[in-house]
Structures are given as structure tokens and as C-alpha cells.
Amino acid sequence: MLLIWHNSKPLLIVKNKGKFYAMEAICAHMGCALLSEVNRTTAVCPAHCAKYDVRIGELIVKPVVKSEVPCESESLKIPLKTYNVSVSVDGFLEISPLNIFNKEIPKPFFKPVSVYWFEVYPIKEIFAVFQEKCTPHGPRFR
């Protein structure tokens, strides 16, 4: 798992079976960071345990909300944005946005982001990035 920043928002990059996937790392429910648990192609929100498929940005499991503790947000803005990830000849990941139909946006309309893939990225370091944005529900980006 790798976390990068793009346009002031975090992107989650995972590698599964030799293929890279990138998705917004912000829960569609309340804007919390999707960093508590990433398992192959599934990302879990720490606030209400919503699960997302990193490959397509779709919600797999709805947030668990207790009726006695209402949430400030009942709407879900899904699917989350996903990105095409390719590996350059130099070994860098090139990340480019996909449109709503999960088709790559033509290159004249964007500048690809290039990052180097690290096989190991300690989760404690990721949470350190979000300390300033923490709320009772975790890091928030809305």
C-alpha cells in the first residue's frame, strides 16, 4: 500500500497480483481517510467500517451507523474516483485520472503524476501525515 497526495487529497495505491490500482483515499460517507485496513483490493473506513473496492471505487459494504448515535452525513457520494496506474520504463508509477466510465482521460487534459513504488509503507507513518486533520471520526477531508 502507498499513499500519495494529489490536488490536496490522498490517493491510495495498492498492488494485487502484479497490477496496480489507485483510488481516492477518502470515505464517501463522512470524508474519513481509508487507511485503517487495506486487504488486497479492499479498503476499510475506520469510522463506520464501510468497505470499498480499490479497483473500481465502488462501495462493497455500507457504513455501520448506530441509530442511537446519528451521523452528520447520510448521503454517499460513490463511486470514489479511480485512477489508471502504469509503470514507466524508469520504474515510476504514472497515475492518470479516469472519467466516470472508468476510461482514461486523453493525455492533453492532464499531466500524469509520477511516484516511485515502495513495497513496504508502514501504516504508522501514514497516520502521522493525518494528525493535523484528525476528528473523533478520524482524518477528515471535507
Domain ranges, residue 130:
2-139
Length of the chain: 142
23-70 confidence digits (pLDDT tens): 888 888 777 777 667 888 898 888 778 899 999 889 888 888 766 555
What pLDDT digit, counting tens, does each position of 91-137 carry? Answer: 777 887 755 445 554 444 444 444 444 443 344 444 444 444 444 45
Whether residue 113 contacts residue 22, with contact meaning beta carbons closer than 8 Å, is answered with no
The cell numbers describing 67, all together, are 441509530
Does residue 4 contact residue 25 with C-beta atoms inside 8 Å? Answer: no
pLDDT at residue 74 tops 80: no
Residue 53: predicted pLDDT: 92
- CATH number at 119 reads 2.102.10.10
Q: Where residue 77 falls among pLDDT bands split at 50, 70, 90?
A: low
Does the predicted model carry a pTM greater than 0.85? Answer: no
Q: Give burial (CB, 10 Å; 0-12/13-18/19+) of 79.
A: middle
What are the b/e assignments for 104-135, b being 16+ CB within 10 Å?
eeeeeeeebbebeeeeeeeeeebbeebeeeee
Q: What's the domain count of the chain?
A: 1
Report the pLDDT value the prediction gives residue 36, as an integer from 0 to 100: 66
Question: Which parts of 1-142 fold into alpha helices (H)?
Answer: 123-129
